[in-house]
Amino acid sequence: WLNEISELIKEGNISTDAKFNFLDDAFVEYNKENSGFEDSLMDIFFKICQTKEEWEYLVKKLGEHPSDWRKKLIMDIQKDYLRDNKAYLKERLENLRYGMDYWDLVNFYIDRGDLQKALETAEKGILKGEGRLTELFQFLFDHFAKARDSINLERIVHTALDRNTEEKEMLDRLFEYYKGEKNYEKAKESLLKSYEFVKHGNYYKKYYAEYKRMKKFLKDSDWKLIEPKIFKDAQENIYDYLRICLDKNMKKTILNTILNPPKNQWEFVIENGFDEFADKLKDDFPEKIIEYYWRKAYSNIPKGNRETYRNAARYLAEVKHIYIKILKEESRWIQRFSNLKVEFKNRPAFLDEVRKL
């Protein structure tokens, strides 16, 4: 019946009284909040209302069972459909709890050209708002950066640090600001503070990205001091550690790691994710990388299916490439591949997946 209502709305043949009757009946179902159709019903409610009288009736129905979500919908209607700024502000100012509540009010002021009110609201939001504050901090930072107001930039970054929210994002922005201002010492200070949140914060530890960023920016004397620390810290993330090893041309360390994978914190051997390193080492250690790819291919065949056979074929293609293009020993590839097909001659699906090799 929702589809039927949607069609009637498109045709525009529903009277206001009929809409009111529909809303009365539909809200009986909506208020149960267990039908699974709540979102679809609300979409219909918003589509069916067109006149001021109809929007006001929807506000009335929403207000009969107050909740944070329904208050938000009421404010959206007041602001965007009824254009009743006074009613919206009254409701919004009484319901400022979360960061996104403050951000909604900030946008209201921005849309009406009142930048000062928007800034004041954002300032209150980063101090009092709960939950997500990202947009508020970014809005204030962009404003003060445009004004080249480093004092206020430092202030709002300290607010982020004090409130334990958006710390790294704000420090990263402060680094970029000072870098643009060609203030090396201040940029370095922000960069090093930001790095501490990679090591100790609740962030995915992207050591390699930080390693590259610092190496590119820091002066040689400063880089020599911090590089050993990052290299040591990066061992928490084996993949970033190996990427750094690659930068440092520590190819034997990488080779040993991918051929003898370490265990993770749960004592399981880390078996996946090393292909990018094997590809980088195939010219220097072709025989060893052949064995790496061969082992990966072989592990996908026993108890396999079409998907694992395709994985095996991909690894075997790498083996073939090294034998023929790097070692120039096609005969060794032909012999070894032939032996493999004999070993798995009773797996027609596997043979089909590798038929083009």
The tens-digit pLDDT sequence of the chain (357 residues) is 566 677 777 777 788 998 898 899 888 888 887 766 788 888 889 988 989 999 999 999 998 888 888 998 999 999 989 888 999 999 899 999 999 999 999 999 999 999 999 999 999 999 999 999 999 999 999 999 999 999 999 999 999 999 999 999 999 999 999 999 999 999 999 999 999 988 765 555 789 999 999 999 999 999 999 999 999 999 988 999 999 999 999 999 999 999 998 876 655 657 788 999 999 999 999 999 999 999 999 999 998 899 999 999 999 999 999 999 999 999 999 999 999 999 999 999 999 999 999
Distance CA 301, CA 313 (A): 10
Neighbour count for residue 346 (Cβ, 10 Å): 7
Residue 265: the pLDDT is 61
Q: In whole angstroms, what is the distance from residue 342 CA to residue 247 CA?
A: 42
Task: Quote the pLDDT of residue 30.
Answer: 86
| pLDDT of the residue at 2 | 65
Q: In the prediction, which pLDDT does 3 show? A: 67
Note whether 334 and 291 are within 8 A (CB): no
What is the number of alpha carbons within 13 Å of residue 32 lying toward its C-beta? 9
Got the DSSP string for 206-247? -HHHHHHHHHHHS-HHHHHHHHHHHHHHGGGSHHHHHHHHHH
pLDDT in tens, 112-126: 999 999 999 999 999
Using the CB atoms, write b or e for 13-42: b if 16+ within 10 Å: ebeeeebbebbeebbeebeeeeeeeeeebb
Residue 259's contacts (CB-CB under 8 Å, 6 or more residues apart) are 288, 291, 292
pLDDT for position 201: 57
pLDDT in the model for residue 174: 98
Q: What is the CA radius of gyration of the chain?
A: 31
Amino acid 29: pLDDT: 82
In this predicted structure, what is the pLDDT of residue 132?
95
In this prediction, residue 25 carries a pLDDT of 87
